[in-house]
Structure formats: structure tokens, C-alpha cells
Amino acid sequence: MFRVLLAMCCGLWVLGCVPEKPAAKKKVEKAPMENPMGDRPANPHANAGGPGLDVNSLLADLPDGWSKVAPSSSMRIGQVALSKASGDPMDGELAMFHFPGTGGSAMANLERWEGQMTGPKGEPGASIARKDTMMLENGIRVITVDISGTLLASTMGTGPSTDQPGSRMIASVLETPGGNYFVKVTGPQKTVAAHESKLRSFLKRAKLGGDA
């Protein structure tokens, strides 16, 4: 009887020592605009539910002082250099992004862009941002945020490595049936101001793929 009880106790002890299988870690997905370089979706031109922006047509006819360049990041579907104004240290830059089926809402992106700038006195970008909306004839809604101050250093390798005072950002969300497209202009304030009217005309020329 003693041996039986001893065997049962040993069996219970062994069972109690079996380690529990650790719970699988829940995968946390990053917002598409925060993905590291190289994590761009395989097909950036896929439609999410309708015709998207005709990017090739938009980039094919650029105004004077704009030159198409190779994108500096695999996240970008287009990049344009804006010639610098007299006295400014560098050209401005226009970058275009699109994340099929993702990319976040217009408001989420506007808030993220505001967080990339501070005002001339260090105030939060959101407190000095100017916003406007225009509706194009083809149904594309363009929501734009305009901030002047300091462009903060990027922590993701997709922007400046150091803070850039005296900068200006004009960034737009273009809402299409195929998802949101993003057009962001950054650069020295004089340079961006010199290209502002051209940028507005550029955005007004936006059309959906397949438009006549």
C-alpha cells in the first residue's frame, strides 16, 4: 500500500513540474507610415476598392523648377526636387506615398505630420498648423496641413537626421476610391513659398486612373 501511495505522489509531482506552454505573443502591427524602409506592400499600385490616383500622369508634366528624382525610400511612389530659392541652403522636396488598403485615416496622418514640426518658438506643430480642404471635380477630396517652424529629426530614417529650423511643410491627403494618397512637401521656408502656387496647381491636376 505504501508503494502505491508513493508511486501516486511521484506521478503527481512529475505532472506538477511540467512547464506550461508560454502564450503566443500577439503580433502588433505598425501603422503603414511607420514601417521601416523596405516594408512597403509588394504591389503599391493595387486598388483598395476603386480607381486610385493616376500617379504616372501627375508626375509626367511637372512645372518649371521641379525635377523628378529617384525615390530615396522604398516607401515612396514618387519624389520630386523643388529648386531652391536664392539664399536657401537646399532644394525643397515633394514625396508621394500610397499604402493599398491601409495608410490610416486623413485625420490620423494630419496629426502625425503635425507631430513632425514645432513652431518658431518651440510650440507644438498642431497649435500653429493651418488646414484647408478642396474638392476636385472628379470627386477627389484634398485635405492639406501647412506648418512653418522646425522640421524635427526623423527617428525612422525617412527624414532629416537633425532638426531643421526655418522649414515649412505642406502635406496633403488625396482621398480616392482606391485609398488615400499622400503628398508631402518640405524644405526651407523661402523655397516652399516660391513653389506654393505650383503645388496647388499640381494637386488640382490629380485624376483617377482611367479618367479621360
- The C-alpha atoms of residue 81 and residue 95 are separated, in whole angstroms, by 9
Determine, yes or no, domain membership for 5. Answer: no
Other Cβ atoms within 10 Å of 196 Cβ, number: 14
Determine, yes or no, domain membership for 114. Answer: yes
* Distance linking the first and last C-alpha atoms of the chain: 93
Determine, yes or no, domain membership for 3. Answer: no
pLDDT of residue 26: 42
pLDDT of residue 20: 45
Q: Which domain holds residue 148?
A: 41-204
pLDDT of residue 37: 27
pTM of the predicted model as reported, rounded to 2 decimal places: 0.76
pLDDT of residue 106: 86
What total number of domains does the chain contain? Answer: 1
CATH number for the domain harbouring residue 115: 3.40.1000
Per-residue pLDDT tens digits for 150-160: 999 987 656 78
- With a cut of 50, list the residues of the chain below it in pLDDT: 1-2, 4-6, 9-10, 12-47
Q: Which of 211, 172, 180, 183 is nearest to 44 (CA)?
A: 180
Q: Is 194 strand, coil or helix? A: helix
